[in-house]
Amino acid sequence: MDTSDREKLLDDLRAVASDVEELLRATANQTGDRINEARARTEESLRAARARLEETSEEVAARTREAAREAERYVQDNPWQSVGVAAGVGFLLGYLIGRR
């Protein structure tokens, strides 16, 4: 997720918080149209935030799948180097666990 997406997500979440606060203030003292307007804004802010979160999670999932494909390609293109790295990591983990 790049910086602009994070900023948009944070802005959406801030809008939700602001609308929720307004809803709480409105329900404490008032009834009727003011509450309905605050609830409508809250619902719209929640929809926008959920949509942004869904877009972001889909983007992260796509990037993860691409990284997995790249790792698989690397292993297929460089099998012996991959075995060496895996053996080195296994040795290091075994050594660290054995020290306890």
Q: How many CB atoms lie within 10 A of CB 3?
A: 7
User: N- to C-terminal Cα distance for the chain?
Assistant: 39
pLDDT computed for residue 2 by the predictor: 65
pTM for the predicted model, two decimal places: 0.49
pLDDT digits (tens, 9 = 90+) for 27-72: 766 667 877 787 778 778 877 877 877 787 788 888 889 999 998 9
Closest CA to 10 of 42, 55, 53, 41: 53
In angstroms, how far is CA 89 from the centroid of its own chain? 29
Residue 1, pLDDT > 70, answer no
